[in-house]
Structure formats: C-alpha cells, structure tokens
Structure 1
Amino acid sequence: MLLKKQNAVQRYELGAEVSRPKQMASIPRTAHLAIIGESNSGKGSVIANIIRQEVEAGGEVWFIDLKSGMEAENYAAVLDNKAYSLQEAKDLLSAFNMDVDTRAERWRGQVRTVDDQHERHRLLVIDEAADLIRSGSDKKTSDACVESIRSALSRSRALNCTVVVSTQNPRVSTSLPYRSLLLTTLALRLNSKSEAVMALGEDAVQRGARPWQISFNRPGDGYLWDSESNTVRYIHVPFMTDQDIHSLRRPGTDDEAGEATAGARSHPTNKLWGLLRRPRKG
C-alpha cells in the first residue's frame, strides 16, 4: 500500500557556497553524512537545518544524544524516538535496524529503491558519536551500538533512511569506526592539516579542502566532500535562532495540542510505524 505523498524533498540544502553566495550546496536526502569540527564550529547549525527540512517534508526524526539529551531535547516537539543513555542507544539502533529489515522484506522484488511513496523517510541523528565508544563494563554495549550503526549505514540508504553523525574528534578511526561507510563529509573548523587529512582523507585536501584555515569567527563555514564524485565545495551553513528551533512543528500539527511532544519516545518500541535552546555551534 502506497503512502500519501508528503512535501516532495529529494535533497537537503546545507548552505551557500562562500565564493558564490547565490549558489546553494545540497546533498541527496538519503546520503549518509559525517559532520566533523571543533567545538563552536557550527555542527549544531548543520543538524538544525537538516532537521528543519526533514520536519517540513513530513519525515521521522530519531536522535541519539548521550550528553543526557542536552542537545536533542531542544527538538522534543518533533522527535519520534530518542536515546539519552548508552543502553537506550542500543535499543534505538536495534529498532532502527529491525525496521530496515521490515522495509526490505515488504518491498523486495517490487522496487529497486524505496522512496516517500512507499515508506515515510526516517532521519537518524547521532550527536557527538564518539561518546558511543566506551571501554570497561560498557564495552559490550558500545560494540553492539557500533555494529548496529555499521549495519544501518550499509543497508538503509535504499530503504529511505538517512544517518547523520557528528563528532569533534577528527581521528575517525576511533571516533567513527564505520567511517568508510560515510561517503559524504562536512568538515568545519579543524586545528591542523593533519586533522583535516584524518577527517577527510588526503584526496579531499589535495582537491582544496582547508578546514584548518577557517577563522574562529566563521562558525558554519566548512568544506563539503563527496568521496563518490571526488568534489569539494566551501560552504556556509546558516544559523538558526532559539525561536526558529522551538517553533518547529510537524505539518498540520496544532501548536497548542502538543501532539508531537507527547508522541516522542524515550526508548524504542516494536511499533515500527505510526509509528532546536539555540543550537550549539560545536
């Protein structure tokens, strides 16, 4: 059964090219994205703009924020699922992958790519993904989260799901052990060329990416690298105010009803269908 089509959105607009302000830079809505940058470099603004577009398009938003929800809770009115602890993250990621399996089973042999006509688009945001990497007594749960993320990245793009991860740590081998599956990267301000190579790879730097040269007073500036097309674009992501963030509502939702807030879950369930504070610049 086909779904009623929401606002057709094929791409996320990230921002304008710095050298050509009238030229917008965008990525496919199903492109898994890594956002890497120092504190106060603009990661929160990137996430805010993507979530805004997802909400306007009528999609789902799932959010993992292991800093006790300090970032995610600003999006509470539009979240479908959230995780603020490591165990909750494991459960959420398990539910995400279960639904990927369900979608694959439902549409296998019928379509090559699932879109909004078949399944509601789902955006999974993992803020400060390095926080998922643990040792000691948490290592088993941490490893399970990493494997679930790797599975989601490997299988969900064709099933109308997108994963966006952010981290301050440019050492992606440790902060993002599934880095090879994130083919699109936005590098905001970094401290050195060596950090840029760790975050983006040598090819991106050779093709002009210079995130270590971004000024501290230019939060939101960054180099967008697409490893599939080997292209680099220097862009600026617009800032969203507190009012912009907290006024986010799903299309057709009565602001006073609070239905979206009531529908946000602190942990996943097996009901697979129907079931921004000022975004910090770091």
Structure 2
Amino acid sequence: MLLKRQNAVQRYELGAEVSRPKQMASIPRTAHLAIIGESNSGKGSVIANIIRQEVEAGGEVWFIDLKSGMEAENYVSVLDNKAYSLQEAKELLSAFNTDVDARAERWRGQVRTVDDRHERHRLLIIDEAADLIRSGSDKKTSDACVESIRSALSRSRALNCTVVVATQNPRVSTSLPYRSLLLTTLALRLNSKSEAVMALGEDAVQRGARPWQISYNRPGDGYLWDSESNTVKYIHAPFMTDQDIHSLRRPSTDDEAGEATARARSHPTDNLWGLLRRPHKG
C-alpha cells in the first residue's frame, strides 16, 4: 500500500555556479556524494545545506561523526539516528542495511524504484569518513564498517536512500576504499594538482577541475564532478551559521511537510540567495 506522502524533493541544490550566479547547481536527491576538501574549505556548510533540504522535505537524517559528535550534535534536534564511536557506527550501518533489505523485500516486483510515495527518504551523513579506517585492535570493527558502507552504496539508491561522505584526505584509495561507488564528487579547496587527481580522477582535471587554485578566503567554492555524465561545474555553496543550523526543525505533520515542500518548489532558491550574500567562513 502506498503512503500518502508525495514525492517531495527530487534534487539537492548545492550552490550557485560561480560563472553564472543565478544558475543553481544540483544533484539528484538519491545520488551518493563524496565531499573532499581541506580543513576550513566549506565541507560543513555543504553538509548543513543538504541536511536543511532533507529536513524541509520531511526525510530522515542519520549521522556518523567519530569526532565525539562535535559536528553532528549541532543537528541533534533533527537526527533520527547518530553514531559517535566506531562501535556505534558499526551498529548504525548494520541497522541501515537491515532496513535496506526490508525495503527491498516490501517492494520487490512491485516498483522499479522506491520513492517518497513508498518509503520515507533516508539521508546518511558520514563526516570525516577517513576516521572509520582503523588498524590494530579496531581493525575488525573498521573492516565491518567499510563493508557495510559498500553494501549501502551499492544497493540503497534505488530504495530511496542517499549516502554523503566527507573527508579531508584526498587519498581516496585509503580514506574512501569504496570510492568507485561514489559517482558524484564535490572537491573543495585542495593543496595540489596531484591531490585533485587522487580525489576526482584525471578525467575531471582534464575537463577543467582546479580545486588546488581555490583561494583560502573562498570557503564553499568547489568543483562538482559527475562521473556518469562527465561534467564539471565550479560552484559556491552558501554559508550557514550555527544559528541557522540550531534553528532547524522538523515539520510536525505530513501536512506541514507538504506545505514546506510546496514552498521549496515555488521558491527553491530564495533561502540560498540570502545565504550566498553572507560573509565567507569555513
């Protein structure tokens, strides 16, 4: 039986194209995304804007933050599940995949792609994903987390789930061992061309991605690379203050969620334009 909830938001708006400030760059809401950039390059603002859009659409937000929850706790009022330790991450990822299995069982043979009419959309944020890679006594738990992420990335997109991973480490072969399953990447400021090639691949650099040339005083600037369409866009993600983040609230009913969605569809860029005019911060 279909849910009453209608398909809410089809795409996440990440920011304005720098060369065409009135043109917003977006990705499908079910596109798994890697965000790679140095400290203070704007990763937090990118994540904040994605979470804001997910909350306004009435979806779920799950968050893994192994820095003792220093980032995730800012969103505690809108989180459905959270993990602040390696063991908690293992348990959260196991629960995520168990629900993916359940969704597949419910809808197998009935629909080709699950959307908001069938299941509530679920967004999983993994902040500083390189922190999940451990050795020594933690290696077994770390390996289980990596395999769970691989499973989630390979199976959940068609089941109305999205995984967003962020890392400072451009050496994706070690920081993101499941890199091949992340077909969309936003590269913020990096230190060198070689780091850009590691983070994005040679094709993206040949097509114009230059994250090592982004100025330190331009946090939020980045190159959005879609390896499926082989396209690069240079964008600026709007800054969100702590006050903006702490003021996030869930729509209290499905009706309010519908109203929020209608507002977002009618005026999809209003809030972003206001944020784009704010001072640049990391």
TM-score higher than 0.5 here? yes
CA distance in 1, matches of 2:78, 2:261: 7
For 2:216, what is the secondary structure of its paired residue? Answer: coil
For 2:138, what is the secondary structure of its paired residue? Answer: helix
Offset at residue 4 of structure 1 (A): 2.2
Instruction: Structure 2: state its 5+ residue gaps.
Output: none
> Which aligned segments of 4 or more residues in structure 1 are displaced greater than 4 angstroms?
253-282
Question: Mean alpha-carbon deviation: is it higher for 162-171 or for 261-270?
Answer: 261-270
- CA, structure 1 residues 20+258, in 2 after alignment: closer, same or farther (shift >3 Å)? closer
Question: Are 1:97 and 1:148, in contact at CA under 8 Å, matched by a contact in 2?
Answer: yes
- CA, structure 1 residues 64+272, in 2 after alignment: closer, same or farther (shift >3 Å)? farther
CA distance in 1, matches of 2:23, 2:271: 42
Question: Are 2:8 and 2:261, in contact at CA under 8 Å, matched by a contact in 1?
Answer: no
TM-score by length of structure 1 reads: 0.90
Question: Are 1:7 and 1:57, in contact at CA under 8 Å, matched by a contact in 2?
Answer: no
For 1:143, what is the secondary structure of its paired residue? Answer: helix
Per the alignment, residue 71 of structure 2 pairs with 71
Offset at residue 211 of structure 1 (A): 0.1
For 2:162, what is the secondary structure of its paired residue? Answer: strand
* Cα deviation code 1:84-103 (max 9, x no counterpart): 00000000000000000000
Per the alignment, residue 233 of structure 2 pairs with 233
CA distance in 2, matches of 1:178, 1:199: 13
- CA, structure 1 residues 51+30, in 2 after alignment: closer, same or farther (shift >3 Å)? same
Offset at residue 8 of structure 1 (A): 1.6
Matched, 1:43 2:43: yes
Question: Are 1:30 and 1:160, in contact at CA under 8 Å, matched by a contact in 2?
Answer: yes
The alignment of Structure 1 onto Structure 2 pairs a total of residues equal to 282
Question: Are 1:65 and 1:126, in contact at CA under 8 Å, matched by a contact in 2?
Answer: yes
For 1:257, what is the secondary structure of its paired residue? Answer: helix
- CA, structure 1 residues 262+78, in 2 after alignment: closer, same or farther (shift >3 Å)? farther
Offset at residue 279 of structure 1 (A): 14
Question: Are 1:80 and 1:263, in contact at CA under 8 Å, matched by a contact in 2?
Answer: no
CA distance in 1, matches of 2:281, 2:274: 33
CA distance in 2, matches of 1:244, 1:124: 20
* Cα deviation code 1:162-215 (max 9, x no counterpart): 000000000000000000000000000000000000000000000000000000
Question: Mean alpha-carbon deviation: is it higher for 244-253 or for 215-224?
Answer: 244-253
Question: Are 1:92 and 1:268, in contact at CA under 8 Å, matched by a contact in 2?
Answer: no
CA distance in 2, matches of 1:82, 1:267: 31
Offset at residue 270 of structure 1 (A): 39
* Cα deviation code 1:34-78 (max 9, x no counterpart): 000000000000000000000000000000000000000000000
CA distance in 1, matches of 2:238, 2:256: 28
CA distance in 1, matches of 2:211, 2:177: 21
Offset at residue 281 of structure 1 (A): 6.4
Per the alignment, residue 193 of structure 1 pairs with 193
- CA, structure 1 residues 254+32, in 2 after alignment: closer, same or farther (shift >3 Å)? closer
Question: Mean alpha-carbon deviation: is it higher for 272-281 or for 23-32?
Answer: 272-281
Identity %: 94
- CA, structure 1 residues 238+140, in 2 after alignment: closer, same or farther (shift >3 Å)? same
Question: Are 2:7 and 2:115, in contact at CA under 8 Å, matched by a contact in 1?
Answer: no
TM-score by length of structure 2 reads: 0.90
- Aligned residues: CA RMSD: 7.7
